[in-house]
Amino acid sequence: MDSQIATLASIFEEADCQELEAGLLKNNSDLEATIDYLLKRKTHQTSPESENKKIRKTASLSSWLSNPASSSTSTSDRATSSTKRTNNLRPLFLSTPQQVSQHLPCCSLIYDILPKDLAWNLYDNMIKDCNGTTPGSNSKTWIRNRWWLANREVQSPHSTAFFISKPTSTTDKSLENDYNETAQYWFAGKPLESDSKPRYFLEEMNQAKEIIETVVNQLLINHPDTLLRAQRSSVPILRYGQEWNGPWRANVAASNCYKGSKENVGWHSDQLTYLGPYPTIGSLSLGTTREFRLRAVSNVLQPTTDQASIRTYSISLPHNSILVMHGGCQERYKHCIATQPSIDVFKNPFDSKDNRTERINITFRFYRPDFSPSRSLSTSQDNHSSSSTPKCKCGIPAVLRADQKGKVAAASSSSSSAVNSSPQFQFFWHCQAGQQNMGQNCNFFKVLDFRNEGRGPCISDQLS
In a domain, 25, yes or no: no
Helices 31-44, 2-11: axis angle to 10 degrees equals: 40
Q: Give the angle subtended at the CA of 286 by the CAs of 320 and 259, to the nearest 5°.
A: 160
Contact assessment for residue 366 and residue 352, using Cβ atoms and an 8 Å cutoff: no
> CA distances (Å), 419 to each of 300, 302, 409, in order?
10, 7, 11
* pLDDT value, residue 419: 30
Q: Residue 437: CB partners within 8 Å, gap ≥ 6?
A: 148, 394
Contact assessment for residue 321 and residue 230, using Cβ atoms and an 8 Å cutoff: no
* pLDDT value, residue 425: 87
Contact assessment for residue 361 and residue 284, using Cβ atoms and an 8 Å cutoff: yes
In a domain, 357, yes or no: yes
Q: 252 has which bridge partners?
A: 164, 365
Q: What is the CATH number of the domain that holds 140?
A: 2.60.120.590
d(CA 74, CA 60): 9
DSSP secondary structure letter of residue 314: E
In a domain, 379, yes or no: no
Number of domains in the chain: 1
Range of the domain at 97: 92-371
pLDDT tens for the chain, 464 residues long, are 554 565 565 555 556 666 777 888 888 887 667 877 876 675 555 444 444 544 444 344 444 344 433 333 333 343 344 444 455 678 899 999 999 999 999 999 999 999 999 999 999 999 999 999 887 656 789 988 765 555 566 677 889 999 998 877 654 555 566 665 555 554 444 555 555 678 999 999 999 999 999 999 999 999 999 999 999 999 999 999 999 999 999 999 999 999 999 999 988 899 899 999 999 999 999 999 999 999 998 876 565 445 546 789 999 999 999 999 999 999 999 999 988 999 999 999 999 999 999 999 999 999 999 998 765 544 444 433 445 788 888 888 889 999 887 766 655 544 333 233 355 789 999 888 766 666 677 889 999 999 889 899 999 987 65
> CA distances (Å), 142 to each of 56, 104, 257, 425, in order?
33, 32, 9, 35
* pLDDT value, residue 140: 86
In a domain, 282, yes or no: yes
Nearest to 97 by CA among 266, 282, 235: 235
* pLDDT value, residue 442: 85
* pLDDT value, residue 47: 46
Torsion angle of the four alpha carbons 275, 281, 286, 291, in this order, in degrees rounded to the nearest 10: 110
What phi and psi, each to the nearest 5 degrees, are found at residue 334?
-110, 155
In a domain, 139, yes or no: yes
DSSP one-letter string for 194-247? GGGS-EEPPHHHHHHHHHHHHHHHHHHTT-HHHHHHTT-TTSPPP--TTSBSS-
In a domain, 103, yes or no: yes
In a domain, 317, yes or no: yes
Q: Residue 228: CB partners within 8 Å, gap ≥ 6?
A: none
In a domain, 402, yes or no: no
* pLDDT value, residue 88: 62
Dihedral of CA 212/213/218/222: which sign?
Answer: positive
Contact assessment for residue 278 and residue 172, using Cβ atoms and an 8 Å cutoff: no
Strands (E) located in 2-140: 92-94, 107-110
> CA distances (Å), 231 to each of 101, 102, 223, in order?
8, 10, 12
Q: Residue 348: CB partners within 8 Å, gap ≥ 6?
A: 120, 354, 355, 356
Asked if residue 457 has a cis previous peptide bond (ω within 30° of 0), the answer is yes
Verdict on whether the full-model pTM lies above 0.85? no
